[in-house]
Structure 1
Amino acid sequence: MRKIMNNSSYDRITNFLEQGRQEKLFPCGYLEVLDKTTTIAQWSVGQIPDSQDEPTSQTRFDLASLTKVVATLPAILLFMEAGELTPQTTLGEKLPATRLTALAPITVNQLLTHTAGLPSHERFYEQTERDVLRAILAVPFNHQPGERVVYSDLGFMLLGKLVEELSGQSLNDFCQEKIFEPLGMKQTSFSPTGGVPTRVKGAPDDGNARFFKEALGHAGLFSTSEDLASYLRFWQRNFQNKKLYQEATTCQTKGQGDCRGWGWVKQTSSQSFFAEANLEAFGHTGYTGTSIFWDPKWQEGIVFLTYRVYNSTDARFVDYRKQLHRIIFEEFARDNKKA
């Protein structure tokens, strides 16, 4: 992207962020545009609920489904790099509790690409079973595995349990030791302490993450713009040097109704919020109003953190986020054309 941050460009983005706050799409937010070495521009809007403070690059937000690609995905890739998993490894091979169940033949690839046949969501918090695996085992398939893409929290909950089985650690402890600490992500963890308040203070917004009271693979992670910028740069480095990371950001689901990488949303996906980017681009969103994006061709990215469910779950936010990214691309990438 062309770095042309003049006053009119900055003001246009500032005004659009303020518009979102005034329309009560979110009470506060933090936006960062970055490249592989530095922050290009950053904006803070609104005040953190229950305080007089404006959010900063070190304000912790509930990431919701960004957990899938910031914690669970890189954990799985570490086991692939070590040769302990392949995309075709089945749950039955590595997760003993699933061996004599219908989940046994489900592959890591199917879980990562949301093609395992599992439903999108299940309100476990309205039930009584407190064991995550037993709760998922009681859920019927939504469709045949491998048939089509259906975005699923349950698939990444299973991947989180797979990480714990292989590592002998909790998902939080493994990710802290192997991912967050090595990358200097000091403010990233499954603890809500010090985070922007959610609808249930002192707990993640996701009902299942609260109910099971443990780190899960689909939601519940808290982090900052500063840490997520470090994480995106980690992906750029690995994308340049490791085939595995290139594969993770390549469309793996052709002919299955949507375009997904391993976890990642692709530019042509139905969930894409960055249609103006290059085909190599990838990103992800979280229900709480969070998103991360990286374009390997431009070698630049965007972190946008809000707490949009504080006021409501206004569906307008989805289009607002798309428009925000469109504006950023217009102001930063006037010289570029999509690949």
Structure 2
Amino acid sequence: LPSSFYFYTPEKAGMYYSQDRDKTIEYLTKIPLDYETGTKHVYSDIGYMLLGCIVEKLTGKPLDLYTKQELYKPLGLRHTLYNPLQKGFKPKQFAATERMGNTRDGVIHFPNIRTNTLQGEVHDEKAFYSMGGVSGHAGLFSNADDMAILLQVMLNRGSYRSVSLFDQKTADLFTAPSATDPTFAFGWRRNGSKSMEWMFGPYASEKAYGHTGWTGTVTVIDPTYNLGIALLTNKKHSPVADPEENPNVFEGDQFPTGSYGSVITAIYEAME
């Protein structure tokens, strides 16, 4: 599967153009493959979108309702949810994620594009325009307090206090290295080679795993040190560095916090 697909843009999506969730889900299984299965490993939003749809198919429930009932409510999490502005939260309770909607300072255009400052709405275009804000690859909001509990679930290999979400065998399966690339696991990136220092820094153990988010977030979990790190920034809420050359590179990407690894390194150095 390709790493991404522009469902929401008629010019790029062609016959698969969709700003309707049901139609997008129908198209997901029709997206052309990029390379022969099993020959390469690429992070794919499309894969996670399909995974969310599989959960909905198996459980008979929308993904946001299922995750709330089975995961977040049992853990006592009150700020981890999809589409928070539709559920009583206000924009001021969230970090802004881009100054002028999805326009990259006015360079990008497509039907129904948002032009206002994004705050409390999922930034990801596929999730917002094509999946109604609820998708397996993007759309989930949280805060540091809730994140700490979710990190602890993984450090505890599936449980938190009296709540057990999955067993140790499943936790080990989630984090086992892929046969095709040791820097990948199920749903996680792993500190599987020096190529991951940009994210994990030089001091994380070989067992460390985590994930990043495009708008400026990173999670690192290191069982060797019983350590969980959640770095939540909004680096994309800054001017585009060079709109004509590359509209996806923002000035915030060039901040020390924007490179992730420098902050993670400082935390490990502080422990030592």
TM bucket (normalised to shorter chain) is 0.7 to 0.9
CA distance in 1, matches of 2:80, 2:189: 22
CA distance in 1, matches of 2:30, 2:153: 38
Q: Please point out which of 163, 166, 175 is paired with 2:55.
A: 163
Q: How many residues align?
A: 214
- Say if 1:225 and 1:303, in contact at 8 Å, map to a contact too: yes
- Say if 1:159 and 1:217, in contact at 8 Å, map to a contact too: yes
Matched, 1:124 2:17: no
- Say if 1:239 and 1:296, in contact at 8 Å, map to a contact too: no
Q: Please point out which of 124, 132, 146 is paired with 1:206.
A: 124
* Alignment match, 2:244: none
CA distance in 1, matches of 2:210, 2:32: 29
Superposition RMSD in Å: 2.0
Matched ranges for 1:246-257 at <5 A: 246-253=172-179, 256-257=180-181
Which stretch has the larger CA shift, 177-186 or 257-266? 257-266
CA distance in 2, matches of 1:136, 1:322: 34
CA distance in 1, matches of 2:235, 2:72: 26
- Say if 1:189 and 1:223, in contact at 8 Å, map to a contact too: yes
Instruction: Compute the displacement of 1:234 (Å).
Output: 0.8
Unaligned runs of 5+ in 1: 1-117, 335-339
Instruction: Compute the displacement of 1:135 (Å).
Output: 2.5
Instruction: Compute the displacement of 1:136 (Å).
Output: 2.1
Matched, 1:178 2:61: no
Matched to 2:254, the amino acid is R
Q: Sequence identity, in percent?
A: 30
* Alignment match, 2:245: none
Matched ranges for 1:1-339 at <5 A: 118-127=1-10, 128-129=17-18, 130=20, 131-193=23-85, 194-199=93-98, 200=101, 201=118, 202-212=120-130, 213-238=132-157, 242-253=168-179, 256-268=180-192, 270-271=195-196, 273-274=199-200, 275-311=202-238, 312=240, 313-314=249-250, 315-316=253-254, 320-332=259-271, 334=272
After TM superposition, the score normalised by the length of structure 2 is 0.73
CA distance in 2, matches of 1:227, 1:146: 36
Which stretch has the larger CA shift, 122-131 or 147-156? 122-131
- Say if 2:204 and 2:222, in contact at 8 Å, map to a contact too: yes
Larger RCO (CA under 8 A, 6+ residues apart)? 1
Unaligned runs of 5+ in 2: 11-16, 86-92, 102-117, 160-166, 241-248
After TM superposition, the score normalised by the length of structure 1 is 0.59
Kindly provide the CA deviation profile for residues 60-108 of structure 1, in whole angstroms up to 9, marking residues without a partner as x.
Answer: xxxxxxxxxxxxxxxxxxxxxxxxxxxxxxxxxxxxxxxxxxxxxxxxx
Which stretch has the larger CA shift, 160-169 or 143-152? 143-152
Matched to 1:211, the amino acid is Y
Report SS of the residue matched to 1:120.
coil
CA distance in 1, matches of 2:82, 2:75: 16
